[in-house]
Amino acid sequence: MLRNDATKLSLILLMTPFILWIVLLIILPQLGIGYLSLREKLGPNDYKFGFANYVDFLQEPIYWNTLLRTAWMSILVTILSLFVGFPIAYYIAKIARRRSRAALFLLCLIPLWVSDLVRAFGWIVLLRETGIISGALQSVGLIEGPVELLYNDVTVVIGLIYTVVLFMIVPLVSTLDGMDNSLLEAGYNLGGSRFTVFRMIVVPYAMPGIVAGCIITFMLTAGSYLTPILLGGKNSMWFTEQIYDQFITRYNWEAGSTFGVLLLVFTSFVVWLGLRLTGQNLASTVAKD
């Protein structure tokens, strides 16, 4: 009896931080945001309950265009991250020696040691018109005059890939690491070419990791703020910036909350769609034991 109580107590103690975290930092703020988004502002200190903020969103092409643009570019970043991250993850998990694996992993982590802001400034120093790359290209004679590499979508995509690719690599390495080499050898032995083995064995095996990585990178990208704004400059147009503008510069918390809810719903929808298309589910990927 005593023992049983002690077990119960320790279970409660273990669960408490998790439940507090979920309730206080995730559920309550979301409810607050949801509530705010349903308040229509009639005048100073005068509100009524309704869906006007959502209607406003749909009626303003700038808003939903920005959301679609953000989603589309996030998908692009996710796909490119997969292409960049997969060979790296494969090398770390399957080709590199055990000993150098930790070092390689650490190398991938280094970008996380500095803040988003510093990383973005790093890119600015490299890519600006009077920056290092432009200068180097001029000094080797590849280009005549200075060239501006900032403030366009390509730069934004590259900067975002740099920021999120690690979150693609980690789940990939952990799934690929669990793959027995004999599966590959069996694949060759039974007559598969490199491509067949990759397509029919490696990719299906890594699918939970691929999907988990894609979900994480997509969510991170769609929710990122500094990188697209600093690298995109006058043409950045990222949905999080709209949210910031509504909350901060326009004092319009109701619209900001509406946008927040819409971003959450929309990105969740994209993830759901992605899972449906790849025939995976959350339990088999992100929550994989």
Partner 1 sequence: MNKMKLLATVSALVAITGTASQAETLRLLTWGGYAPDEVVRLFEEKYPDIDVEVTFSNNEEMIAKLRATRGAGFDLAQPSHDRIYAAQLEYGIYKPLDLSQIDTSVMQDGLLKSVKDNTTIDGEVYAVPHQWGTSGLMADITKAPDINSWDDLCDPEYKGRTSMRLRRTILLGMAFSMGKDPFAAYGDLAEYQKIMDEVTEKLIACKGNIKTYWSGGDDLSNLMLSGEVVASETWDSTAYKLYGEDANIVFVPPETGALAWIDTFAIPAKGEADDAAYKWINFVLQPEIVTMMSASTGALASVKGSIDLLPDDKKAAVKAAFDDAAIENLKFFVNIPAGIEDIEGKSLERIKAASQ
Partner 2 sequence: MLPLRAAPARKESLMFDLESDKITKRFGTFTAVKDVSFEVPSGSFFSILGPSGCGKTTLMRIIAGFETPSEGDIRIKGKSVLGSAPNKRNVKMVFQHLALFPMMNIGENIAYGLKCRGENRTDIKRKVTAVLDRIGLPGVEEKHVSQLSGGQKQRVAIARCMVLEPDVLLLDEPLGALDLKLREHMKIELKQLQHQFDTTFLYITHDQSEALVMSDNVAVMNAGRFEQIGPPEELYNAPKSAFVAGFVGDSNRFSGKVSAISGGEARITLANGQEVLAGIDDKALFLGAKVDVFVRPEAIFITRREKAAADSPQTLLKGVVDSLLFNGANSRVLVRLEDSSLVEVDHRIGQGEDRFNKGEAVLLGWEMHAGQCFAAKG
Alpha-carbon distance of 129 to 13, in angstroms, equals: 56
Contact region for partner 2 (CB under 8 A) — 3-11, 18-26, 117-125, 199-207?
Answer: 199-207
Q: How far is the CB of 97 from partner 2 (least distance, A)?
A: 15
Determine which residue in the list 33, 137, 192, 245 makes contact with partner 1, applying CB under 8 A.
245
Q: How far is CA 203 from the centre of its chain?
A: 21
Alpha-carbon distance of 161 to 123, in angstroms, equals: 12
Determine which residue in the list 250, 272, 273, 287 makes contact with partner 1, applying CB under 8 A.
250
Applying CB under 8 A, does 189 fall inside the site for partner 2? yes
Applying CB under 8 A, does 192 fall inside the site for partner 2? yes
Applying CB under 8 A, does 174 fall inside the site for partner 2? no
For 188-226, letters b (16+ CB in 10 Å) and e give eeeebeeeebbeebbeebbbbbbbbbbbbbbbbbbbbeb
Applying CB under 8 A, does 278 fall inside the site for partner 2? no
- Beta 39-43 vs 46-49: how paired, if at all? antiparallel
Contact region for partner 2 (CB under 8 A) — 63-71, 72-80, 189-197, 235-243?
Answer: 189-197
Do 127 and 157 form a contact (C-beta atoms < 8 A)? no
Radius of gyration (C-alpha) of the chain in whole angstroms? 23
Write out the residues near partner 2 by the rule CB under 8 A.
Answer: 180, 182-183, 185-193, 196, 200-201, 204-205, 207
Write out the residues near partner 1 by the rule CB under 8 A.
Answer: 43-45, 62, 65-66, 128-130, 148, 150-151, 229, 233-235, 237, 242, 245-252
